[in-house]
Amino acid sequence: MWLCYATMISFNQTLKPILHRIGSMPVAILLLILLAVASVIGTVLKQNQDQIDYLQQFGPTWYWTFRALGLFDMYHTWWFLAILGLLMFSLFACVLRNAPRFLKEMKSRKGTLSENARKHIMHKFDLTLDDKAKAIASIKTSLPGWKWMETKVTVAGVETLWLRGDKGRFHKWGYILVHISMLVLLIGGAMSTQFGFRGNMAVPEGKTESEISFLKGTSVEYLKMPFEVRCDTFSINFFSTGAPSEFRSTLTIIEDGKEVMTSDIIVNDPLYYKGVRIYQASFGDGGSEVTLKLHRLNREGNIDIAKAQVYTMYEDPYSDVTMEFKDFRPYNIENMAPAGQAKDFKDMGPSVDFVIRGKGLKPVLVRSMMDPFIMDDKNQGSMIMISKTGDARDFETFLLGLDFSNPKEWQLFQSFVGQLPTNKDATKEDNLNAFRAALDEVYPDGRPEDLQMLGMRVLQALKVLPDMPWPFVPMLDDFDQTYYTGLQLAKDPGMNVVWVGSAFLVFGLCIMFYVAHRKVWIKIIDKDDSVTLEVTGLSNRNPIAFEQEFTDLEQQIKDAYEQKKGVTV
């Protein structure tokens, strides 16, 4: 007893004021503003990028300041979560404080209306009918949706009957529901982050994987799944513009060494297994085998074969040059039309990307194409793209002149270079003779068809190839492609709570905005042989719709009364 009393006192004296303060509007608004400002920062400052990029972008001072504040993974910092937590608390306090008042207001219905109040209300009419009992009965029974309450008032010995009708009296539930629903949403969100996980998994075709990786703050963390995922096949369909139309992975779930299910997933259609959803998120090269021909830029002009896998390093045994393979693409569809003209999509064929490094060489990103560039049905020779910054957006295209997919052209070039006169006063005719001799050597059975084009391309090669900084021309020759499928795995125990909260929220908002609390007072005044109904109506919102409804009401009462009268007579 004493304990109970003490708790009451301590609640009233300490907890209640705190609750009131936190549940008050200024605090809530402060929290919402903080949330909004933080959110703006989070969108303007790109989240979860490479730390090195941040360092480059902001410089050391700002980088360390931002990092200390956790701005690079802001939505998971303690202070951001604290704002959300306080908001939750504030909502809770707000509901606790206001809901009882709302409920009380909904219950209390004033049965009468003063003359003075009636004067100021727009919607009213007087109706005189013959039969009091029938009038009351017709009001009470035949007006759909109205809830009626009787009040008897005796003034100076004269008893007056009042009828009060309500429609949409529950509209204050809208406010309560909306605030509770947000509480539910925040609880659901907290459950998701506390008990759920979300991470990525890259599974090459034919391989099995069981670990997901995700970012936590600035570091990458790993989590083992209770099952393994095998990617049986991965396929992509393309539109003719080169844009992917569908990625599809066939996945097999393996648990305790047993295959438990096999299913296809595509974007927008995840797989569900034991509380974990598996989404198709991305795809990429899963370590394709590539074969390159290295055309030596030396006197012999021999061709070496370089075999490598994407994501591995190839070291040239004859020089100190290395190639780090980055990516392989089976298609390269480009719009060949000049800007502003009708588009002309063309597949440029397979390509491989690698970074080439060596002593005294500036490391550059190279894209080597397998097929020659054909324009207007004419072979323009092979193509290589070089990005000096290492960014794929900065690729510059170089036409090498020769078609490296045709080994004879390289032979021709070598033979031509070998026979070129070396003395300074060689004439054009001498050069031409050297070309003819080279042609005779490489094409003993007659000249190739596009001779003129070929000649021009050899000249182009003569201009371009000696400027190459590398000891060889690396050209893609063959490939065996494998993809990896990029999966996202997520477990979200709070999701259903969030949906329940969402449903509440929408429902509550609809009540709040679209249900008007409409009240009608009817004062029934007895006359000698008739009865006068003084009807007054009030609505807390949407006066225009209410005017219509109120006018209808008059008609409805009249109709119902007439009907009642007709039946009994």
Binding site for other proteins (CB under 8 A): 25, 28-29, 32, 35-36, 39-40, 42-44, 46-47, 75, 144, 189, 192, 198, 239-241, 243-247, 266-270, 277, 279, 281, 337, 340, 342-345, 488-490, 492, 495, 498-499, 502, 505-506, 509-510, 513-514, 544, 548, 552, 555, 559
**CB closer to other proteins out of 153 and 337:** 337
Closer Cβ to other proteins, 169 or 198, answer by number:
198
CB of 49 to other proteins, least distance (A): 11
Q: What DSSP line would sit under 180-195, residue for residue?
A: HHHHHHHHHHHHHHHH
Q: DSSP assignment of 385-413, as one string? A: EEESSS-GGG-EEEE-SS-TTSHHHHHHH
Q: Of 51 and 245, which has the nearer Cβ to other proteins?
A: 245
CA 139 to chain centre: 55
Two tokens, residue 146: 């109205």
Please, which residue, 322 or 542, has the CB nearer to other proteins? Answer: 542
When the beta carbons of 157 and 340 are compared against other proteins, the nearer one is: 340
Q: How far is the CB of 91 from other proteins (least distance, A)?
A: 12
List helix spans (H) across 445-494: 451-464
- C-alpha–C-alpha distance, residues 377 and 373, integer Å: 10
d(CA 278, CA 201): 10
Task: Decide: 247 and 283 in contact? Cβ < 8 Å.
Answer: yes
Query: What is the smallest separation between the CB atom of 29 and other proteins, expressed in angstroms?
Result: 7
Q: Give the DSSP H or E segment for 442.
A: helix 428-442
Residues 6+ apart with CB under 8 A from 273: 227, 253, 260, 261
Which residue, 132 or 277, has its beta carbon nearer to other proteins? 277
Which secondary structure element, helix H or strand E, spans residue 255, and what is its range?
Answer: strand 244-255
Q: Please name the residues in contact with 232: beta carbons below 8 A apart, sequence gap of 6 or more.
A: 205, 206, 250, 251, 252, 262
- Of the pair 212, 438, the CB lying nearest other proteins is at 212
The distance of closest approach from Cβ of residue 358 to other proteins in the complex, given in angstroms and rounded to an integer, is: 35
Look up residue 342 and give its DSSP letter.
P
Q: Closest CB to other proteins among 121 and 266?
A: 266
Kindly state the tokens that stand for 322.
């290395």
Least gap, CB of 443 to other proteins (angstroms): 39
What are the Cα distances from residue 119, in Å, to 389, 542, 548?
81, 20, 20
First and final CA of the chain: distance in angstroms?
68
Minimum gap (Å) between residue 189 Cβ and other proteins: 7
CB of 84 or CB of 417, closer to other proteins: 84
Residue with structure tokens 């003490």? Answer: 6
Least distance (Å) between residue 503 CB and other proteins? 9
Output the smallest distance, CB 472 to other proteins, in A: 37
Is residue 343 within a helix (H) or strand (E), and if so which, with residue range?
A: none
In sequence order, which ranges of 45-77 are alpha helices (DSSP H)? 51-69
Q: How far is the CB of 498 from other proteins (least distance, A)?
A: 6
Nearer to other proteins, 39 or 160 (CB): 39
CB 121, min distance to other proteins, A: 18
Residues facing 72 on adjacent strands: none
